[in-house]
Structure formats: C-alpha cells, structure tokens
A and B are shown apart, each in its own frame.
Chain A
Amino acid sequence: MKDITIGQYYPTNSMIHQLDPRVKLLGALIFIISLFMTDNFIVYGVITIFIGIIIKMSKIPFRTLMKGLKGILILLIISAGFNLFIVPGNELIRVWIFKITDEGIKRAIFLGIRLIYLVIGTSLMTLTTTPNDLADGLEKAFRPLNKIKIPVHDITMMMSIALRFIPILMEETDKIMKAQKARGADFETGGIIKKAKSLIPLLVPLFVSAIRRAVDLAMAMESRCYQGGEGRTKMKPLKYTFKDKVTYLTYAGFLFFIYFLNRVIVSIDVLSILSI
C-alpha cells in the first residue's frame, strides 16, 4: 500500500517545485495538448527534449517517475495491442486471422507514447506540487465559476480534506488489518466470495472510524469559527512571481514552436510526395 505513487508528493527544492500551482496545472494541460497536435516523430523528439529538460530541473529521480507507469502498463498493452490489429492499411504480417498493418504499427506506437507521456506529464505535476497547493491552485483558477453558483470553495475544501485523510485512513486500515490478523483473520486465502466476506471485519471498523473522524473534524472546524468560504481569507495567498510569468511565456513559445514545426515538417512531407 505504501507504493501508491499516484498523487504523491516528492519533497525536494527545485525550481519546478517553487512555481505557482496554477502554472503547473496549465503546464500539464499544455503538454497534453501538444501531444495531440502532431503525428510526427521529429516533433515528438522536440517534445521529448522539452519534457526531459523539465524532468532534470525538477530533480525528481527517474525511477520515481517510472513507478507511476506501472499502473497503466496493462491499459497500455491492451490499447496499443488493439490498435495494432484493428487499423486498416498496408498489411505487413499476418498471424492466423489477425493482420498487422503499417498504419496499425504507427498508431500503436503513437498511442503508446501519448499514454506514457500523459502519465509522465501529470505525474510531474503531482510530484512537484503538494496536494494542498494543488487544491489552492484549482480554487483560485476556478473562482470565476462562483458567478454561476458553482460552490468552488466547498468543492476544493472537500478535496483538500479528502487528500489530507488519505494517509490517515490508509494507516487506520493498516492498524485494523493488523488487529484482526492478530485474531487470526485471513485476508489472502480463499475464492472471491470468501475474500469479500473477510473484508467485513476490516470495512466496518474503518467506516466507523472515518465517520468518527469526520464528526470530530467538523466540531474542530466549527470551534475555530469556520463558516464556509464566504469572506474567508488565505494565510498563504497565491501570487505570481517573475519566474511564473516567464514560464507562461515559455508555454506560449512552446506551443507556437510545436505548431509551426509540425506545419513545416508536414509541408516538407507533402512536397517530397509531390515531387515523386
């Protein structure tokens, strides 16, 4: 359970860590957009150099980044595999009734790369931003939605609390599991039904514990005069620094560069085809 790296923060002091969370949220989005702007290997090479620089700047060890990919490995294989056999094009290999086409290979590779880069991009964002900063960033970014009666503060408060309680509840689950194991409980052996039944001594106390904590937390918050988001100020308000503004400019530059590079290369391809 300690190996769940989704949304985990990796504490280091890098330039990327110090950026405003909104900048990183947008950065992840821009990165993902760039992945779908092109089908060209050369452009992907440029994107790879770009993300490589960011990874280096973030001081996050490569191994930690790769751990996040373990989770999508199966999804990756299934989707890429699917594309490999389904897409029509020039046939290259035939295995029984399944044929692999050149278009199929190209699609499978791009799908694979897109998926991997997607995970790396979003992982970088969560690894360099604490969950609370992320929630703050989202709250500030979506504040305008308050005008159409969406309770932005309440939603982000719920998110922050949920994030805060993940490690607490995980620890509680561990404690309860150990206490029941000390009474001879067995969570591992048996078929699906037996395993499901064996979860009751785990889930009931966990549920009771979670509700108890929620009630205690609500009382604690109320005793400190919490009344919702109306008129509430922040202890650490998010303010853009020079580095953040420079980063925004870099995003714009990056997107334009990728767009034009893609156009140029495509037109070169078209030209070479025409001249043949």
Chain B
Amino acid sequence: MSIRLENVNYIYSEDTVYEISALKNVNLKIGDNEFIGVIGHTGSGKSTLIQHMNGLIKATSGTIYYNDKDIYDSKYSLKELRCKVGLVFQYPEHQLFEVDVLTDVCFGPKNLGLSEEDAKASAIKALEQVGISEDIYEKSPFELSGGQKRRVAIAGVLAMEPDVLILDEPTAGLDPKGRDSILDQIYELYSRRSMTVILVSHSMEDIAKYVNRLIVMNKGEVKYDGTPREIFSHYKELEEIGLSAPQITYAMAALKKNGFEIDENITTVEEAKQEILKCLM
C-alpha cells in the first residue's frame, strides 16, 4: 500500500475575492503500517491535506498516486479509493442517520456492494473493534452517549475494511477516559491489523505517545517530516509556528537546566519516569 502526493497544490475559491492557497507544493510518501501524526496551527492545511488523500477534494495542480495509480485518471474509481482510504471527520457522530446502530454501520459496506449478510458481518466485526457491545446494536444512534456515538461513527468507516485509516481529531470533545480509550483502540488497529493510521491532532501528548512519524504543516506547506523525538526537540521552532512540544519535554528541559544529568530529548511521561528514576539511583 502506498500513497504518493507529488507537487500538490490546492486553492480555495479560485478567481474570487476570497481566494486562499490552502496547500502549497506538497510532496509526501506514505507506506505500509505507519502511524503518522499530522500537526499544525489552525488553517495550516491539515484537513485539506487529508481530504486529498481519499479523493474528496481534487488538487488544483499536482498528482496523487494510490498504489502507483493516478487517482485523477478518468477511469479511476474514486468511490473504491474512499473505501480503501477510510476518513473519519471531526465530530463524526454528525454523520449518523439510520434507524439503528447496526444499519448505520452497514451503510458503508452496502455502498461497496456487499450483500445484506456480508455487510452485517463486517458491521459487527467493526463494532467489536471499537468496543460497542451487542445490546446496543438495535438502539437508535440518537439515543447514545457522545462517546458511544463517536465509536459507532468510527465503526461505520472501519466496516469497509480500509487499508489506511485517517482520523481528524478523534478525541475532540471527549472526557479524558474517553480519549484514552479511543486512542488505545486505534493503536490496536495499527498494531494488530497492520493498518496505516494517520492521526490529525492538536494534542502533542497524544501524538508523542502513539505515532512513529510526524508531519508538521505550516501555512499550507509541509514544514517538517520526521520522528516525533527529532521534531519535538526543536520546540523553539515549533513555537514560532504556533505549536509546542509535549509538556513533559519542557519539564525535562527545565530539570536539565537546573543541573540534573538527564536526557532532555524525552517526549512521553513513561520515558521521563525511567530517565528520572535512573538519575535518582
């Protein structure tokens, strides 16, 4: 599985008073089994970028290849692409509409042409993956709690068994327990199902905890593309573009400044704990 973006540009409202260049000369290569984080200030082009990856938005110029096939080719089926590259928008519970949870999750597979039974089987599998129990299947999606609705919405995309799962701030509006729960479940999909997961987030801590590759967007361009550890060590540059490093990185930097012999290149609380314990021994 590979997604390649070459010289992709996107301009909103071209030729009007409100014209905005949202993506500038983006070049990216995404491969199998990666867990990628995308961060950037509001308006940096994160949402626009991910909507290009499943063909929802067509680039103003540039090419995009999925498994080495040009997705803008007239014979290419964008509908199929969208099932292979699953995109979960922010507040996905707003897309729920069916009579009951199971039918809603079947929407995706049925659009793919699966039979009633196959669609149901995929739906049930997806609902298990997000931790929704059987007693909820017959309920109306509008009766559920916020967190449950969110999981059902994510299941709706998972039911299509995509190779890539893109999530735009999946933890927005959830309480801390809900957030950890969803992220842990997403991590399981990455490790157990070998999916490539792309996570757009504003939380540096979440990013540092889960991803192995970090893309930083700034004003429509890809500013940095590397490991979280590398990128977060340059927190001054991140601050200049409206971002920051995880809180723990700052804490470690302060400790180092005050004379503690520790590696300040730490991005998660777990690593920090180990480092501090080592130092104290």
Partners in one complex: yes
| A256 → chain B closest CB, angstroms | 38
Which residue from chain A places its CB closest to the CB of B111 in the assembled complex? A184
Q: Is the CB–CB distance between A178 and B51 below 8 Å?
A: yes
Chain A residue nearest to B93 (CB atoms) is A205
Bound Cα distance from A117 to B13, whole angstroms:
28
A184 to B162 CA separation, bound complex (whole angstroms): 12
Kindly identify, within residues 91 to 139 of chain B, every residue whose CB is under 8 Å from any CB belonging to chain A.
Answer: 92, 94-97, 107-108, 111-112
A205 touches B86 (CB 8 A): no
Give chain A's interface residue range (CB within 8 Å of chain B).
20 to 34
Tell me, rounded to whole Å, the shortest Cβ–Cβ distance linking B76 to chain A: 15
A residues 154-183 touching B (CB-CB < 8 Å): 172, 175-176, 178-183
- CB contact between B156 and one of A175, A178, A183 (< 8 Å): that residue: A183
Nearest A residue to B107, CB-CB: A183
Given A10-B17, A175-B89, A186-B79, A180–B94 Cβ distance below 8 Å? no
Q: Is A182 a contact of B111 with CB atoms below 8 Å?
A: no
Contact A186 B17 (CB under 8 A): no
- Indicate if the CB atoms of B97 and A205 lie closer than 8 Å: yes
Q: Is the CB of B94 within 8 A of A175?
A: yes
Bound Cα distance from A181 to B111, whole angstroms: 10
Residue in contact with B89 in the complex, picked from A2, A182, A200, CB distance below 8 Å:
A182
Say yes or no: A184-B17 contact (C-beta < 8 A), given A175-B89, A205-B95: no
Tell yes or no: B208 within 8 A of A by CB: no
Q: Is B250 among interface residues, defined by CB-CB distance under 8 A?
A: no
Find out whether the CB atom of A182 lies under 8 angstroms from the CB atom of B97: no
Q: Min CB distance, A239 to chain B, in Å? A: 29
**A176 and B95 contact, Cβ closer than 8 Å, known pairs A182-B157, A184-B82:** yes
Chain A residues closer than 8 Å to B96, beta-carbon distance? 205
B160: which of A172, A179, A183, A186 is its contact (CB, 8 Å)?
A183
For residue A62, give the distance in angstroms from its CB to the closest CB of chain B.
14
Residues from chain B with Cβ under 8 Å of A205 in the complex: 94-97
Is B187's beta carbon under 8 Å from chain A?
A: no
Nearest-CB distance from A8 to chain B (Å)? Answer: 10
CB B49 to nearest CB in A, in angstroms, measures 14
Assess whether B51 is in contact with A183, with CB atoms less than 8 Å apart. Answer: no
Instruction: Decide: A204 and B79 in contact? CB cutoff 8 A.
Output: no
**Across the interface, which residues of B come within 8 angstroms of A208, CB to CB?**
97, 142
CA distance A180 to B108 in the complex (A): 8
Tell whether B222 is near chain A: CB-to-CB under 8 Å. no
With an 8 A cutoff between CB atoms, is A268 at the interface? no
Instruction: Please provide the chain A residues from 204 to 223 with a CB less than 8 Å away from any CB of chain B in the complex.
Output: 204-205, 208-209
Q: A140–B234 Cα gap in the complex (Å)?
A: 59
Do the beta carbons of B108 and A179 come within 8 Å of each other?
no
B87 close to A184 (CB less than 8 A): no
In the complex, whether A81 has a CB less than 8 A from a CB of chain B is no
**Nearest A-chain residue to B91, judged by Cβ:** A175
* A185 sits at the interface (CB 8 A): yes
Q: Which residues of A contact B51 (CB under 8 A)?
A: 178
Decide yes or no: A180 and B95 within 8 Å by CB, A10-B17, A201-B107, A208-B142 being known contacts: yes
- With both beta carbons as reference points, the residue of chain B lying nearest to A207 in the complex is identified as B97
Q: B54 — nearest CB in chain A belongs to which residue?
A: A182
CA distance A178 to B97 in the complex (A): 14
A179, A205, A209: which has the most chain B beta carbons within 10 Å?
A: A179
Residue B20 interfacial (CB < 8 Å): no
Residue-wise, chain B 40-84 has the 8 Å CB interface mask toward A (1 for contact) of 000000000001001010000000000000000000000100110
B78 to chain A, nearest CB (A): 9
Task: Check B17 against A11 for contact (C-beta < 8 Å).
Answer: yes
Check B94 against A209 for contact (C-beta < 8 Å): yes
- Is B111's CB under 8 angstroms from A178's CB? no
The 8 Å CB contact of B111, one of A179, A183, A204, A209, is: A183
A148 to B218, CA, bound (A): 59
A196 to chain B, nearest CB (A): 15
Cβ contact within 8 Å between B112 and A179: no
Q: How far is the CB of B46 from chain A (nearest CB, A)?
A: 15
**Closest chain B residue to A2 by CB distance?**
B13
CA A180 to CA B87, docked complex, whole Å = 10
Cα(A2)–Cα(B94), bound, Å:
22
Give the docked Cα–Cα distance between A178 and B56 (Å): 7
The complex places the Cα of A205 from the Cα of B157 at a distance, in Å, of: 17
B146 → chain A closest CB, angstroms = 13
Interface residues of B in 185-227 (CB under 8 A from A): none
**Could you tell me the distance between the alpha carbons of A4 and B89 in the complex, rounded to whole angstroms?**
26
Closest chain-A Cβ to B222's Cβ sits at a distance in Å of: 23
A64 nearest CB across to chain B (Å): 9
Give Cα A50–Cα B89 distance, bound, in whole angstroms. 51
Q: B17 and A182: CB pair below 8 A? A: no
A to B CB contacts below 8 Å, 7 in the list: A172-B94, A178-B89, A182-B54, A183-B157, A183-B160, A201-B97, A209-B94
Chain B residues in contact with chain A, CB under 8 A?
13, 17, 51, 54, 56, 79, 82-83, 86-89, 92, 94-97, 107-108, 111-112, 142, 156-157, 160
